[in-house]
Amino acid sequence: MTDTSDQPIAAASGTFDIGGELTVHRLGFGAMRLTGPGIWGEPDDPDECRRVLRRAVELGVNFIDTANSYGPEVSERLIAEALHPYPDDLVIATKAGLERPGPGQWVPNGDPEYLKSECEGSLRRLRLDCIPLFQLHRIDRNVPLEEQIGALIELRDEGKIRFIGLSEVSVSQLDEVRGLTPVATVQNRYNLVDRSAEPVVAACQRDGMGFIPWFPLKTGALADPGGPLATVAERHGATPAQLALAWLLHRSPVMLPIPGTSKVDHVEGNMQAAAIELSDEEVAALGDV
């Protein structure tokens, strides 16, 4: 595991072109944890959260993922407070489609007018004229899919969003949406111990869509002393969490991990994963466990 002096560490993760146009370093930052318990309310230390965001950018992160439901509204506001005016190469992705009745509670709402109003709120909080990547947080089974996606298409046609992304979808749902409009990214839960989204990863890789794995640091018993992840991590002088991120980066060229944290030392540690070089044998061995 090596750092370089001539470029930020996140650059070692390589690049991906979201929508074929927005070039980002593949190791990004997820801003969900910049909130209170239950992803609700203000964080315990807002100043530290703003320092985390600034430090992530210093380390080369130019892809930040958030959502209006984080807080709600808290994460987006902190991003703008910490980073606006934004670097020219910074790509901010946000999401809409969930209501928050209380801590830890998430209720899908795909009503077109709701999605449009949430986009307007995100534009204000993020201080953007156009959101680079706007993702449907969940497909609402109580609203016709054509109406939900139609709202996003309208927002794109109005210049309020640039690219459309999806979250927590199956391959069949992805194909259905792609029959209506191009999809730039998919964000599903995926990590070393949860591969349920494997078919979606394959579809994204086949067709050049970005795949954003949420909960990327889950390692389970693989990280126990003597376990396969801990053993490979020790070989590389890294932590199991860093190895979990490195494995994701090696898993597919369309993979865009977004580890999140509210602590500066954690974001610094996470970014070190970008420089870990795994052999094909190590990638395969970890993928097989």
My answer on whether omega of the bond before 216 falls inside 30° of 0, hence cis, is: no
Q: What's the rounded Cα separation, in Å, for the pair 186 and 228? A: 29
Residue 72's nearest CA partner among 109, 20, 47 is: 109
What amino acid occupies position 115?
A: L
Pair 45, 53: CB distance under 8 Å: no
Q: How far is CA 20 from CA 153, 162, 247, in A?
A: 18, 12, 24
Pair 205, 190: CB distance under 8 Å: no
DSSP three-state, residue 74:
helix
DSSP three-state, residue 48:
helix
Query: What strands lie across the sheet with 29-30, from one edge to the other?
Result: 29-30, 63-65, 91-96, 131-136, 161-167, 185-189, 210-214
Helix (H) or strand (E) holding 235: helix 228-235
Q: How far is CA 105 from CA 102, 122, 135, in A?
A: 5, 20, 19
Q: How far is CA 54 from CA 34, 47, 78, 100, in A?
A: 13, 11, 11, 27
- Told to judge if 190 belongs to the known catalytic residues of this protein, a careful annotator would answer no
Catalytic residue among 70, 86, 114, 190: 70
Q: What's the rounded Cα separation, in Å, for the pair 239 and 220? A: 14
Instruction: Show which residues are catalytic.
Output: 70
